[in-house]
Amino acid sequence: MREGTAQLIRREDYAAPAFWIRTVDLTFDLDPAKTLVINKMTVEPNAEQPGAPLRLDGEDINLLRVLVDGEPVSFRTEGSQLVLENLPQQPFHLEIRTTCAPEKNTQLSGLYTSSGGFFTQCEALGFRRITYFLDRPDVMATYKVTLKADKLKYPVLLSNGNLVEEGVLEGGKHFAVWVDPHPKPCYLFALVAADLVRREQRIRTRAGKDHLLQIYVRAGDLDKTEHAMNSLIASIAWDEAKFGLSLDLERFMIVAVSDFNMGAMENKGLNIFNTKFVLANPATATDVDFGNVESVVAHEYFHNWTGNRVTCRDWFQLSLKEGLTVFRDQQFSQDMAGSRSARAVKRIEDVRTLRQLQFPEDAGPMAHPVRPDSYVAIDNFYTATVYEKGSEVVRMMHTLVGDEGFRKGMALYFERHDGQAVTCDDFAQAIADANPGSELANRLEPFKRWYAQAGTPRVTARGSYDADNHIYTLSLSQRSAPTPGQPDKAPYVIPVAMGLVGRDGRQINLQLEGHLNSLGHDTVLVLSEPEQTFTFVHVPVEPVPSLLRGFSAPVVLEAEHSDDALFTLLSHDHDPFNRWEAGQQLALNRILAAVRGDGYIELDARYLHAMREVLRHPELDAAFKELVLTLPSEAYVAEQLDVVDPQRIHTVRESLKRQLAHALHEDWIWAWEQFHDNGAYSPDARSAGHRALANLALAMLVLDGSLRQNPIWPGKALQRFKDATNMTDRLGALQALVNAHAELAGPALERFHAQFKGEALVIDKWFTLQATAPEHDGKVFARARALMQHPDFTLRTPNRARSLLMALCQSNPAAFHRTDAAGYVFWADRVIEIDGINPQLAARLARALDHWRRLAEPYRTAAREAISRVAARPELSDDVREIVTRALQ
């Protein structure tokens, strides 16, 4: 275990390395218990730091010998580093032999075994667990890799680049030699040795080059690879068409592994994926899974340019590749979705994720800038802030320079930096320089505060209408609360996309005072001061402002719209995002009033009428309707409150859901009838939308039926569950029963388990479904705790551990936050237990209590005690130590 050293690493301490490693020749003699690694490097002293010692990183590996230009040399170790002094001042050969024990590597960082095969994960600091190295992204080398292993057990031997040789060895072994011509940082190194089968396809790209695409999986999973292959082909075409970026490898491989800490990894030419994000067929994967596979395949593929060809100078720049690549995968998925409305649905989903994960992060003890200033364990900084907020920062640049300007900016970025390890500043500079005179170029320095300052800014809008002169004045102001280590904030540059909507729904022409030209119906205001006023002339009627269209900046907007204004936007706004937003705001206002008041809520006829109108609307897409009719999550409601009582929020939200289920009964039946029969399965956005709305309708009908002891809809759901021909419908029906606590849920769950016992990803769903059911008399918590003892449960497979524990502790506030503190006791025990196995996973779970300070009593005190109990353990990993220390600060 990486333990105890707990050194704070600071961005301002960055210094170039004292040596460069130019070439690496690695030989692996693969054995689960003891793998021999021979690492031959050519090393070049950095002329700017003559005489400095060479300090190589290593972790959990046994050093056998060190040779410089073929001769043994003396060395010392300092902590986990190997230190060599008095080295030649010219380029020299360095050979290091080590061994490691892949089968004991339960952290899943470095070289490890999974289902009897060998796999690697090197980002961020895994390569040092394979061999001694300058384990930092600004050291780039070309790699030649020789793999030797038992031929029967490990028939497939893969590494980065191109296969140049293979053959048999004595003793039943075989070998393969791979050469990657592209210099890369060691975090992009990968190897796989396993018994796998593959789907492959040859393609010719627009650029006229031929490529071989391969997806490797375990035998039995081949029928789940078609969607990933299609997604890969579409990604390749998109990057060529959109940015002129072509695949630079003859061969591009994806390998699926069931033990993996994250989603997937962009190793050069050899992407390694969590099975969850590559395997999908209609029988075992839902529409959401299909969407995730598409976007993760695209994400990893897009990294080939944004991450691999141009990489990060240091890990503080992580968002350079992650924010940009998330932005690219989100744009890609929108393009794949097609229609304007389907694009908006994707945008709404992305914003929902941002608000659910990133906004709370920005408001808690782990708040950090998109480009952090310091860290203890870099693994803790693969966060929603670096990824999702990072993507929003790139999106704002895109908004400020336009689509064509952004394309030019990307071209300049690659022209300047291809083959280099660079910083977030370099990226922003390239986009700005390619667009002289743009709002971004004119305000680049203040814009970059988005990289430097943590916290979610709040924008307040106030409008006033002068009916006599037809003038509408909009005042926008911004403020940002202090975050850990950052008491004061300078103003941000905030693009506010907007329009003005008449009460009758008409779009109002926009013309700013003092400007001759009309701006049409849509414009982007740039708020860069603490407060600014925008005056619109020739406004014929009092408008409702539609602000932050498409969610043009990652801020909290306080528009203080009246119900009237919100109903106007919900029915008439031309921006689908703001239409959805108005519906959410209407629900949120009602929930908050009840939570702050006496806890009682009775839905008003006007709200119900508006929801009915949306549900029955002849033109709106089913997917959009489903989003509007889904209430804001408990987590999002909690976000709005200074003191959070999770049980109270749950009670209020559940009550609202029941009323919506009951009051719209006939309409839900109508929706079910309309959308439940989809014919043959296709994962396209339109069919998926129909399934989503049908499933919501079914859930509402089962909920209402269960409450009224009417067995009709629970019975129909059970039938649907049995007859379903795809996982989306099957799981939807099962979830309707489970979430309504219907009697039929028990037998259905058993049947589901029996039917899918061989399908690990489906069994994960089975655990999650039970752990995320709405809490009811403590039954859900009790059930989840009992499931720990289920024979299929293990803490060693991250997907399985997450399927139960993250589901309970992160995604089910009312089951987790209990007045008797049993949830927190359970949490602390699991964090400690998992930390001994897999610190990265433990640290993720540890974050479930980030927000303890905002909890009401008795939760607050009990949560603090649980965190303190974890923090008091002397043998914690740095990963968990960093999380609990920050939480208690």
Q: How far apart are CA 334 and CA 159, in angstroms?
A: 33
Instruction: Answer with the entry of Zn ion, ligand 0A1, none that 123 interacts with (C-beta below 5 to 8 A by kind).
Output: ligand 0A1
Three-class DSSP category at 821? coil
The kind and range of the H/E element at 783 are: helix 779-787
**Quick one: 160 or 261, whose CB is closer to ligand 0A1?**
261
262 binds, among Zn ion, ligand 0A1, none (CB under 5 to 8 A by kind): ligand 0A1
DSSP conformational letter for 554: S
Is 848:809 a contact under the CB 8 Å cutoff? yes
Which stretch, 29-37, 134-142, 193-201, 256-264, contacts ligand 0A1 (CB under 6 A)?
A: 256-264
Residue 260's alpha-carbon distances to 109, 378, 383, 735, in angstroms, are: 9, 17, 17, 27
Phi, psi for 321 (deg, rounded to 5): -90, -35
Q: How far is the CB of 384 from ligand 0A1 (least distance, A)?
A: 12
Regarding 879 and contact with ligand 0A1 (CB under 6 A), the answer is no
Whole-number minimum distance, CB 883 to Zn ion, in Å? 21
Residues 274-333 that bind Zn ion (CB under 5 A): 322, 325
Asked if 878 interacts with ligand 0A1 (CB under 6 A), we say no
Residue 691 and residue 678 in contact, taking contact as beta carbons nearer than 8 Å: yes
Q: Which two tokens stand for residue 748?
A: 């259905």
Residue 358 binds which entry of ligand 0A1, Zn ion, none, with Cβ cut-offs from 5 to 8 Å by kind? none
Instruction: Compare residues 127 and 154 and give the one whose CB is closer to ligand 0A1.
Output: 127
Q: Which of 382, 472, 624, 816 binds ligand 0A1 (CB under 6 A)?
A: 382
State the Cα–Cα distance between residues 319 and 811, nearest whole angstrom: 26
- Is residue 446 a contact residue for ligand 0A1 (CB under 6 A)? no
Measured from the CB of residue 325, what is the shortest distance to ligand 0A1 in angstroms? 7
Residue 483 or residue 840: which is nearer to ligand 0A1 going by CB?
840
Nearer to ligand 0A1, 266 or 289 (CB): 266
From the list 486, 485, 508, 506, the residue with the least C-alpha distance to 498 is 508
Nearest to 262 by CA among 386, 399, 412: 386
Residues 562-581, interacting with ligand 0A1 (CB under 6 A): none
Structure tokens of 793?
Answer: 């449960």
Residue number, 275 or 728, with CB nearest to Zn ion? 275
Applying CB under 6 A, which of residues 98, 107, 120, 121 lies at the interface with ligand 0A1? 121
When CB distances are held under 5 to 8 angstroms depending on the partner's kind, the choice from ligand 0A1, Zn ion, none that residue 263 binds is: ligand 0A1
For 227, 303, 324, 422, 739, the CA distances from 232, given in Å and listed in that order, are: 9, 13, 18, 27, 36
Whether 300 is catalytic: yes
DSSP per residue, 101-158: -GGG-TT-SEEEEETTEEEEE-TTTTGGGTS-B--STT-EEEEEEEEEEETTT--EEE
First CA to last CA distance, the chain: 25
Nearest approach in angstroms of CB 262 to ligand 0A1 is 4
Q: Which does 121 bind (CB under 5 to 8 A by kind): ligand 0A1, Zn ion, none?
A: ligand 0A1
- Residue 35 interface partner, choices Zn ion, ligand 0A1, none, CB cut-off 5-8 Å depending on type: none
Q: How far is the CB of 54 from ligand 0A1 (least distance, A)?
A: 26
300, 626, 639, 882: the active-site residue = 300
| 341, 608, 642 from 637: Cα distances, Å | 26, 20, 11
Single out the residue of 25, 57, 123, 729 in contact with ligand 0A1 (rule: CB under 6 A).
Answer: 123
Stretch that binds ligand 0A1, among 194-202, 255-263, 481-489, 766-774 (CB under 6 A): 255-263
Site string for ligand 0A1, 822-861 (x = CB under 6 A): ------------------x---------------------
Query: Which listed residue (239, 266, 775, 835) binds ligand 0A1 by CB under 6 A?
Result: 266
- Residues 150 and 173: beta-carbon distance below 8 Å: yes
CB 54 within 8 A of CB 84: yes
- Helix (H) / strand (E) containing 35: strand 35-45
User: Least CB distance from residue 112 to ligand 0A1, whole Å?
Assistant: 11
Residue written as token pair 């919506």: 660
Measured CA to CA in angstroms, residue 292 lies from 213, 231, 349, 696 at distances of 20, 10, 12, 20
Q: Rounded to the nearest whole angstrom, what is the least distance from the CB of residue 381 to ligand 0A1 in the complex?
A: 10
- The CB-of-762 to ligand 0A1 minimum distance in angstroms stands at 23
Residue 478, interface with ligand 0A1 (CB under 6 A)?
no
Q: Can you list the positions of beta strands (E) in 334-426? A: 374-375, 421-422
Query: Taking the C-alpha atoms of 45, 51, 57 and 60 in order, what is their torsion angle to the nearest 10 degrees?
Result: 120
- Name which of 236 and 591 has its Cβ closer to ligand 0A1: 236
Single out the segment in contact with ligand 0A1 by CB under 6 A; choices: 87-95, 225-233, 246-254, 258-266.
258-266
Nearest approach in angstroms of CB 761 to Zn ion is: 21
By C-beta, is 25 or 266 nearer to Zn ion? 266
379 versus 850: smaller Cβ distance to ligand 0A1: 379
> Cα 119 to chain center, whole Å?
22
Residue 275 binds ligand 0A1, judged by CB under 6 A: no
How many other C-beta atoms can be found within 10 angstroms of the C-beta atom of residue 403? 11
Strand order in the sheet with 156-159: 110-114, 117-121, 191-194, 156-159
Instruction: Answer for the pair 478, 459: CB distance below 8 angstroms, yes or no.
Output: yes
For residues 494 and 408, the answer to whether their CB atoms sit within 8 Å is no
Judged by CB, which is closer to ligand 0A1: 395, or 579? 395
Task: Please report, as residue ranges, which positions from 549 to 578 form the binding site for Zn ion (by CB under 5 A).
Answer: none
Name which position in 181, 263, 446, 484 contacts ligand 0A1 (CB under 6 A): 263
Binding mask 281-300 for ligand 0A1 (x = CB under 6 A): ------------------xx
Task: For residue 439, state whether it binds ligand 0A1 (rule: CB under 6 A).
Answer: no
For the bound state, the minimum distance from the C-beta of residue 391 to Zn ion, rounded and expressed in Å, comes to 10
Of the candidate residues 26, 96, 265, 351, the single one contacting ligand 0A1 (CB under 6 A):
265
- Are residues 275 and 123 in contact, defined by beta-carbon separation less than 8 angstroms? no
Nearest CB to ligand 0A1, comparing residues 190 and 718: 190
Identify any residues that bridge with 535 across adjacent strands, giving them in sequence order. Answer: 473
Give the binding-site size for ligand 0A1 (rule: CB under 6 A). Answer: 15
Binning the chain into helix, strand and coil, the percentages to the nearest 5 are: 45, 20, 35
Rounded (10°) angle between helices 605-616 and 622-629 = 160
Residue among 262, 412, 537, 788 that touches ligand 0A1 (CB under 6 A): 262
Do β-strands 270-274 and 251-257 pair in parallel, antiparallel, or remain unpaired? parallel
Spatial distance between the Cα atoms of 49 and 453, rounded to a whole number of angstroms: 33
Q: Which of residues 299-358 bind ligand 0A1 (CB under 6 A)?
A: 299-300, 322
Q: What is the residue whose two structure tokens read 């292959």?
A: 229
181 makes contact with ligand 0A1 (CB under 6 A): no
Binding site for Zn ion (CB under 5 A): 322, 325
Catalytic (active-site) positions:
300
Residues that bind ligand 0A1 (CB under 6 A): 109, 121, 123, 261-266, 299-300, 322, 379, 382, 840
